[in-house]
A and B are shown apart, each in its own frame.
Chain A
Amino acid sequence: GENVEQHPSTLSVQEGDSAVIKCTYSDSASNYFPWYKQELGKRPQLIIDIRSNVGEKKDQRIAVTLNKTAKHFSLHITETQPEDSAVYFCAAIGNFGNEKLTFGTGTRLTIIP
């Protein structure tokens, strides 16, 4: 099955700086890669996603890049703000009719005011 690794597990950045979180996946047939933000005790919220036919996608301060050859994708948050502090999860969907999400281990992002 699919295996998703995520790094780093914790990340602290100064407010206004950029944050980068990286994930790798094992199933070369995976074709959908969402990123979720989860605040304590709440549901994961989709913040951005990318499909395998696209290399990069941007939405305001958030961007995701995908390298299919290397089987890795990254989340980039620019101009970080205190409200960006949360746990971020990457995920991937395997193919062959298996559409269950496999999550990375999560990154606890702390923005230092």
Chain B
Amino acid sequence: GAVVSQHPSRVICKSGTSVKIECRSLDFQATTMFWYRQFPKQSLMLMATSNEGSKATYEQGVEKDKFLINHASLTLSTLTVTSAHPEDSSFYICSSEQGFNYGYTFGSGTRLTVV
């Protein structure tokens, strides 16, 4: 099946620094990439939808200047958490749809801890 590779799996950063998370589609073209955030014991909440070659669409309440999304190619989408703060500590996970079949593939997730 389709695979989305996500890196890093874990990252610890200092407050005020930026962290980049990458998601690569390994065997299919990910026209659209969905970025989710999951706090402990909670559901996955969609942050933004990125489409290759265009600006991302952010969900209400998500700061686009803080969570920078780039989808420059059909196989790579990145999420940069800028000026990270402890409240940004969370599990970030990407997902891409497999076209008409509506199947969704998830990356392995990134556990971000801001200290």
Find out whether the CB atom of B108 lies under 8 angstroms from the CB atom of A43: yes
A101 at the B interface (CB under 8 A): yes
- Max chain A Cβ within 10 angstroms of own Cβ: one of B41, B91, B104, B111: B104
A-B contact count (CB 8 A): 44
Distance (whole angstroms) from the CB of A8 to the closest CB of chain B: 14
Find out whether the CB atom of B102 lies under 8 angstroms from the CB atom of A106: no
B61 at the A interface (CB under 8 A): no
A25 at the B interface (CB under 8 A): no
Find out whether the CB atom of A106 lies under 8 angstroms from the CB atom of B43: yes
Q: Majority SS of interface residues in chain A?
A: strand
Contacts of B103 in A (CB 8 A): 46, 49
Distance (whole angstroms) from the CB of A27 to the closest CB of chain B: 15
Find out whether the CB atom of B43 lies under 8 angstroms from the CB atom of A42: no
Distance (whole angstroms) from the CB of A70 to the closest CB of chain B: 22
Distance (whole angstroms) from the CB of A32 to the closest CB of chain B: 5
Tell me, in angstroms, the Cα distance from A34 to B32 when the chains sit together. 18
Contacts of B93 in A (CB 8 A): 43-44
Interface residues of B in 97-115 (CB under 8 A from A): 97, 102-104, 106-109, 111
Find out whether the CB atom of A101 lies under 8 angstroms from the CB atom of B43: no
0/1 string, B15-53, CB within 8 A of A gives 1? 000000000000000001010000001111110010000
Distance (whole angstroms) from the CB of B52 to the closest CB of chain A: 15
A73 at the B interface (CB under 8 A): no
Assuming the A-B contacts A43-B108, A99-B97, are A89 and B46 also in contact, with contact meaning beta carbons closer than 8 angstroms in the complex?
no
Closest 9 CB pairs of A and B: A43-B106, A32-B102, A103-B43, A103-B44, A105-B43, A106-B43, A43-B108, A43-B109, A44-B106
- Residues on B lying within 8 angstroms of A by beta carbon are 32, 34, 41-46, 49, 91, 93, 95, 97, 102-104, 106-109, 111
